[in-house]
Amino acid sequence: MHTIPAQDITAFTNSAIADPKESLCMSRNVRTSLIITVLGLTALLALMLAELGQGRNDDETTPRRLTAAIGGPFELTDQNGTRRSAADFAGRPMLIYFGFTYCPDVCPTALDIMGGALDILKQTAPRAYQQVQPVFISVDPARDTPPVLRDYLDYFHPRLTGLTGSQAEIDAVKSTYKIYAARSAAQDENGNYNVDHSSFFYLMDGDNRYLAHFDHAVTPAELAEKLSGLLN
C-alpha cells in the first residue's frame, strides 16, 4: 500500500483550495460523507433489485447464480493516451473503481485498499493476482486528462489502468455500469468543484459480466480474501 507524500497530495485534493476556516471544512466533510453513504445505499439497493429481477431457472432444482445487468462495451482513453476498449481486457477479470483525482478522501482511500489487496494477493494467491486487472475510471473527464491520471495513479499501484474520455463517453460507461456521479453546482473562487458519486468496487469476469461488488469500507485483507475465493 502506498501513501501520497504530504507535499504532493494537495495537487489532487480539494483541501488545497478549500476555505481555510476549520468549521467550514468540517461541515463539508460531514456533508460529503452523508452524501456518499446515501449514494452507496441507493446503488446497493439497485444492485439487489437488478439481481432479483433476473428471475429463476425453469428447473427449480438447478442452482443458478443471479447476474445483475451491469457492465458492457466501452471505449475510453488510458493514462498513456492509448484508446482502450472492453475487448482489450477480454479473458481477464476486472476490478473496477469509479472516482476522480480531485476527490478529497474517499477515492484515495479506495485506491489504497485496492492496491493493498493486490499486494496481499501477490503473496497469498499469485494466480488470482496475475488474473485480475485493476481499473480506475474517472467520473470527472473535464479535469482528469491522461497525464493527470498517470501522475495520480503512480501513487497507488503499478498495475492500475486509468481510463478517461469525453463527457459523452464517460456518461455512457456510467450508464453501462449503473454508476451514479454528478458534478456539484457549488464552486470555490478558483472554479474548483466536487463530484458526488457512488463508491463500490465492481468485480467483472473475463467476459465483462458482473460477478460481485464490494463497499469501499472493506479492508485490503477482506478484499483480497474475497477476490481469491471468487477468482480461484
Asked whether residue 224 is assigned to any structural domain, the reply reads yes
| Residue for grid cell 459523452 | 168
Backbone conformation region of residue 37, classed left if phi is above 0, alpha if psi is from -120 to 50, else beta: alpha
Q: Is 183 exposed, middle or buried (0-12, 13-18, 19+ CB in 10 A)?
A: middle
Asked whether residue 221 is assigned to any structural domain, the reply reads yes
Asked whether residue 158 is assigned to any structural domain, the reply reads yes
Query: What are residue 83's DSSP bridge partners?
Result: 77
Asked whether residue 41 is assigned to any structural domain, the reply reads yes
pLDDT at 20: 42
pLDDT at 174: 95
Asked whether residue 161 is assigned to any structural domain, the reply reads yes
pLDDT at 187: 86
Which domain does 120 fall in, by range?
18-57+69-231
Residue 72 DSSP symbol: -
Scored b (16 or more CB within 10 A) or e, 93-104 reads bbbbbbbbbbbb
Number of folded domains in the chain?
1
Task: Return the C-alpha cell found at 49.
Answer: 433489485
The residue ranges of the chain whose pLDDT is under 70 are: 1-68
pLDDT at 45: 52
Which CATH number does the domain housing residue 91 bear?
3.40.30.10
pLDDT at 39: 52
